[in-house]
Structure 1
Amino acid sequence: MKYNLIYFIQSLLIIVLSPLFIGILKKMKAYLRGYIGSSIIQPYYDLSKLLKKGRIVSNRSSFITTIGPIVILAATITTAFFVPVFYTSMQESIGNLFILMFSFGIVKMFTVLIGLDSSSTFGGMGSSRESFISMMAEPLILFLMIFLYIETNDFNIFHISFINSKSVHYDTAYLITMVTFIVAILAENARIPFDNPETHLELTMMHEAMILDLSGSDLAYVELSSYIKLIVYLIVLINCFVPIGIATTISISAILIGLVTFIFKLLICLLGIAIIETTFAKSRLFKGAELFPAMISLGIVAITLIYIL
């Protein structure tokens, strides 16, 4: 019972604090660009403002646009309960990598369908581009699953974090897989160089183009789900590859150390994204996609090195 309680608390913490972490990311980018920027709690104000506004649905839209944002938010919130945050153990849990990625697949599918359902030119364009990038990024996720299974003989993220926290070897294959997964995170979350989350230029939008016709609470649900999705992906990166400091026992000191180290590692990840997005520009669609074959090749090399070294 106490294990389930801790699992629930840490997952709930991610759902509640995801907008705060996104606010910190935006503040980091502002500082790197030389200006103050908005408050780190600005995403909460934005979500609150959207929730107070009415919904406007196009006459051309079907039930997909009506239920899509709710399904997207529900699926994304569910993923928060599949990952360890500051505590993990070998107890039975639902943190299977396949279930996690299938849940993200549901989010992707309904987001694409919303873009197509509005009969908007830009929505269809964004859905097409998003599907193309996602198709190229999925092999990188597959290599992640294969690598972690070979290393730990398990698909459960809680078990993988527990095993790697006891003995992790940062060899060449490990670092290569980490780099390929970082590229997959940027692609799946519509970040630079694949997409610019700050632009609303019609000819460059991908994620924003798909939700261009959403408003009010529908837009709030999709925006919140995008916040949670990015943080969950970063949690998988942190706790599967750098699980140093994560609590493996239920004690006040272990939990506090696990919480502090998790926040520190997450802030490092957010700083890395901020540096990338303030240093590089968005690439053209097909030019950015050229990165995926190289990453797929590196994934194959990483799997091969496991058996050679």
Structure 2
Amino acid sequence: MKYNIINFLQGLFIILFTPLFVGIIKKIKANLRGYKGPSIFQIYYDYIRLFQKSNIRSENSSFITEIGPILSLAASITVAFMIPVFYSNDNTLGNLFIIVFIIGIIKFFNTLIGLDCCSTFGGMGSSRELFLSMLVEPVMFFIILFVYFETKTFNIFNIASINAGSNPYNIGHILAAVAFFIVLLTENARVPIDNPETHLELTMIHEAMILDLSGKDLGFIELASQIKLVAFITIFINIFMPVGLGTSLSALVILKAILFYIVKVILVLLIISIVEIIMAKSRLFRVPELLATAFSIVVAAFSLNYFI
């Protein structure tokens, strides 16, 4: 019973603190650019404003636009409860393949929403999203395969516990982390894959799919995408930066693990911010080159660890 409670609290932690982490990355980017920027709590106010507004839907849209945002949010919340945050125990729910498939549900409904509104931009964004998804899948598969050979398990809770109790930091591990980081940027529409700060029609991917949404629908989709980002960062931390993860239900250990988690998330957000500041968005047909590089990196990591 106590393990179920702590796992529930971990998922709730991600959901409640996701807007704060997004606010932090916006604040970091603003400071790096030399201006003050919004408060780190601004995202909470934005959600309050969105959830108080009514929905405006295209007369050509179907039930997909009506149920898609809430189902996308439900999938992201499900993922939040399937990954360790500050404590890892023997949990059967954390299979990496299941997590990846549930994340795919978010993408599935987002692309359907983009097509359902009958907008040219929506269809363009959906086609680009699925094009990139096709290229990401082989990289993700090899990363999971690498992690399995390293830990002999697909369960993220067990992977985090094993890596936290050992010293997995070798060249292959670092290369796999770089490949996963590229996947993280791609799956969450970050620079250089996409620019989440603009609505430039000729370049946007994620924003194009949700361009016709408003009110609660937009709030649900935005929250789902942001939870997905924090979930990806948490998975990245669990696999490649598990130091400080709690493995016992001691108040001091849990408090220390929470502090370690927050510091690691802010570190990853800082790296993402630096990448987005120093790089420009790539042309769409240059993105496959980046993902091919990620694939080569993870294959090299696999080869270094198990064949050389």
SS at match of 1:290: helix
Match of 2:72 in 1: 72
Give distance in 1, aligned partners of 2:290 and 2:153: 29
Instruction: Please state how far the C-alpha of 1:132 moved relative to its aligned partner.
Output: 1.0
Written as runs of structure 1 = structure 2, the 5 A alignment for 1:40-119 is 40-89=40-89, 91-119=90-118
Match of 1:213 in 2: 212
Match of 2:258 in 1: 259
Give distance in 2, aligned partners of 1:99 and 1:183: 21
Instruction: Please state how far the C-alpha of 1:298 moved relative to its aligned partner.
Output: 1.7
Give distance in 1, aligned partners of 2:42 and 2:112: 29
Match of 1:248 in 2: 247
Residue type at the aligned position of 2:138:
P
**Could you say what the CA RMSD is over the residues aligned between the two structures, in angstroms?**
0.9
Instruction: Please state how far the C-alpha of 1:302 moved relative to its aligned partner.
Output: 1.6
Match of 1:158 in 2: 157
TM-score by length of structure 2 reads 0.98
Mapped contact 1:195–1:206 kept (Cα < 8 A): yes
Give distance in 1, aligned partners of 2:302 and 2:222: 36
Match of 1:305 in 2: 304
Compare 25-34 and 281-290 and name the one that shifted more: 281-290
Residue 126 (structure 1) aligned with residue 125 (structure 2): yes
Match of 2:7 in 1: 7
Q: What do residues 242-272 of structure 1 show as CA deviations (whole Å, max 9, x unaligned)?
A: 1001000110111011011110000000000
Give distance in 2, aligned partners of 1:133 and 1:84: 28
Instruction: Please state how far the C-alpha of 1:276 moved relative to its aligned partner.
Output: 0.7
Residue 187 (structure 1) aligned with residue 186 (structure 2): yes
Residue 20 (structure 1) aligned with residue 28 (structure 2): no
Instruction: Please state how far the C-alpha of 1:308 moved relative to its aligned partner.
Output: 2.7
Give distance in 1, aligned partners of 2:201 and 2:39: 28
SS at match of 1:195: coil
Match of 2:230 in 1: 231
Find runs of 4+ consecutive structure 1 residues off by over 4 angstroms: none
Give distance in 2, aligned partners of 1:27 and 1:176: 29
- Gaps of at least 5 residues in structure 1 are none
Give distance in 1, aligned partners of 2:93 and 2:61: 35
Residue type at the aligned position of 1:36:
K
Equivalenced residues, count = 308
Give distance in 2, aligned partners of 1:168 and 1:8: 29
Give distance in 1, aligned partners of 2:119 and 2:166: 52
Mapped contact 1:111–1:211 kept (Cα < 8 A): yes
Mapped contact 1:245–1:261 kept (Cα < 8 A): yes
Instruction: Please state how far the C-alpha of 1:289 moved relative to its aligned partner.
Output: 2.1
Residue type at the aligned position of 1:209:
A
SS at match of 2:82: coil
Instruction: Please state how far the C-alpha of 1:17 moved relative to its aligned partner.
Output: 0.7
Give distance in 1, aligned partners of 2:182 and 2:101: 19
Give distance in 2, aligned partners of 1:297 and 1:11: 33
TM-score by length of structure 1 reads 0.98
Q: Percent identity?
A: 53
SS at match of 1:61: coil
- Gaps of at least 5 residues in structure 2 are none
Q: 1:92 to 1:288 in 2, by over 3 A?
A: closer
Mapped contact 1:69–1:219 kept (Cα < 8 A): yes
Give distance in 2, aligned partners of 1:150 and 1:10: 27
Mapped contact 1:143–1:177 kept (Cα < 8 A): no
Instruction: Please state how far the C-alpha of 1:295 moved relative to its aligned partner.
Output: 1.4
